[in-house]
Structure 1
Amino acid sequence: MSDKTLLLSDDDGVLTVTVNRPNALNALNEQVLTELRTLLEGPLPSTGGAIRGVILTGAGERAFVAGADIKEMSVMTPDEGEAFGALGQRVTRLLEELPVPVIACVSGYALGGGCELAMAADFIYATGSAVFGQPEVSLGLIPGFGGCARLHHRVGPGWARELIYTGRKIDAAEARRIGLVNRVFDTREEMLDSAAATLAEIATRSPVAVALSKSAIDGSIGRPVTDALAIEKAAFRRTFATGDMREGTAAFLAKRPPSFPGH
């Protein structure tokens, strides 16, 4: 990636993507978003076997991503602002649509676009130093990378409205209490190690079943129960045509560990 705006590392099937603008608190400018889009639109890079999980984080201890680049936005026209929002929404949707699990690992600030980027992951781990918020209204803006669309799914419409309307920031403990964050850790190293361990555990399961589960959950959000059940039923049906299902059930009956073919 040009100018190392993104740092990538692959360890045993886990791709770690680090936003690397520490002097700007990893703020999302057009370059970062474009490079994220390019990364997510293509096959995930791997030095060995297939990527089975992604860790998304920011460089340094001060910020995961402190937000979108305000200096860049301050001079945008409405058309440019719309295009910038569309780019941010494209990136968050691509992240959400990855067939492998994604864990956002947050230290320091995850504000505005940073909070929106984290919410596009499957779930969020944080350190005690993490600070979350959608403070756009204090700048005369609204969340534009998916905050209005996703936050209420994470924490409920009441909390989403309060956080967005006030622009209030919350710490990691509060974020966990309201359901935004799954787990809170004492140190960044402990957080990253735990995220890698979680992805390693998931990697022992059927990759097809994990991908179909992710797709069914994503497709069900915001839909009536009857529609969500139809989505689930279709995904459930597809598992019966997979080698993973045949291997998983055979291994269970034979009382041996499964060796999933991944198809």
Structure 2
Amino acid sequence: MNAPQTAREFAIDPIPEGAIFRIERPAKLNALTRPVLLGLAACLDELEARGARLLVVTGAGERAFCAGTDLGELQTLDPDARIAKSTMARELLVRLSRSRLVSVAAVNGLAFGGGLELAMACTLRIAAAHASFSLPEVKLGLLPAYAGTQFLPALVGKARALEIMMTGRTIAADEALSIGLVHRLAEHGSSLPDQAVGFGREVVRWPAGALAWIRRCVDAAGEQVAHAGLSVEDAAVRATFDSADAREGVAAFLEKRQPRFGQG
């Protein structure tokens, strides 16, 4: 992926550590279609195959990160095809959430429905000050279909997740930050995708193995310290304690120099 790739509904721009995937449907508030989902899946395939470290996901324009599934497209599908699209999207977002890639959602506007689910599937989230968030499916007699019922309580807790999903209300960026739905708000005067790349680089500068184990341990953690989570942490400690990167990190600290990770 050495040069920008553009399709009618999405674009992929290479960066040294991976790529920026941008939904290119601003007139439709970057709503998710099957081609967009397939494009994201192909992007993941390519990045994972070559051992890339970072993926930034964003939307074109300033109005919307992603307004959710394209209801116009949905109306053209028969019931089986609707379920197939939902299943594909759910499996893709779960895959993204579990990928060894560090993914950063650069939320440049509203993130509603499947758009919020896409953002929640990313490892990290940075939002513009005017961004807003909602899972409004209940207002259509539906419920979040792309793993949102699982992502949201994992991020903000069961009680708050129930309130958000059962009211379908809209959350402003400052509240999203305060409840842990996003990690950072973007600074004024610098491009949001650039800030998202910088955020990701703060993470991917460190050894991939240690990062993967940290994420696995956190995923195993429950609301209370439990044996299952502690068992995962024990396995992680054993796996990383005598790794080449760990030995290099300790040596560099003692020798008062910058570590050279990934050499062993």
Q: Normalized against structure 2, the TM-score is what?
A: 0.89
Give a deviation string over 1:63-103, Cα, whole Å, max 9, x none: 10111111122354443232122111111112112213211
Q: Is the 8 A contact 2:106 2:125 kept in 1?
A: yes
Q: Tell me which amino acid in the other structure corresponds to 1:11.
A: I
Report deviation, 1:192: 2.9
Q: Does structure 2 conserve the Cα–Cα contact (< 8 Å) formed by 1:67 and 1:111? A: yes
Q: Measure, in 1, the Cα distance between the counterparts of 2:248 and 2:14.
A: 28
Question: Percent sequence identity over matched residues?
Answer: 35
CA RMSD of aligned residues (A): 2.3
Change (3 A) 1:2 1:104: closer
| Structure-2 residue corresponding to 1:98 | 99
Aligned equivalent of 1:207? 208
SS in 2 for 1:261: coil
Q: 1:197: which partner in 2? A: 198
| Deviation (angstroms), 1:190 | 4.4
Contact 1:8/1:16 (<8 A) preserved: yes
Q: Any unmatched runs of 5+ in structure 2?
A: none
Deviates more, 1:234-243 or 1:119-128: 234-243
With 154-163 and 3-12 compared, the bigger mean Cα shift is at 3-12
Is contact 1:22-1:59 (8 Å) kept?
yes
8 Å contact kept, 1:100–1:210:
no
Q: TM-score, normalised by structure 1?
A: 0.89
CA displacement 1:165-187 (0-9 Å, x = unmatched): 11111111111122111111254
| Residues matched between the structures, number | 260
Residue deviations 1:217-248 (CA, integer Å, cap 9, x gap): 23445796210111111112111352111211
Deviations 1:181-213 (A, max 9, x none): 111125483433332222222233222211222
Give, in whole Å, the separation in 1 of the partners of 2:25 and 2:49.
21
Q: Which secondary structure does the structure 1 equivalent of 2:21 belong to?
A: strand
Matches within 5 A, 1:124-135: 124-135=125-136
Alpha-carbon distance in 2 for matches of 1:100, 1:163: 29
> What are the within-5 Å matches in structure 2 for residues 1-263 of structure 1?
3-44=7-48, 51-187=52-188, 189-220=190-221, 225-261=226-262
The structure-2 alpha-carbon separation of the partners of 1:82 and 1:224, relative to structure 1 and needing over 3 Å to count, comes to: farther
Question: What is the identity, as a one-letter code, of the residue corresponding to 1:26?
Answer: N
Question: Is residue 134–residue 164 contact of structure 1 (8 Å, CA) maintained in 2?
Answer: yes
* Aligned equivalents of 2:189, 2:156: Cα separation in 1: 24
Change (3 A) 1:17 1:222: farther
Structure 1, gaps ≥5 residues long: none
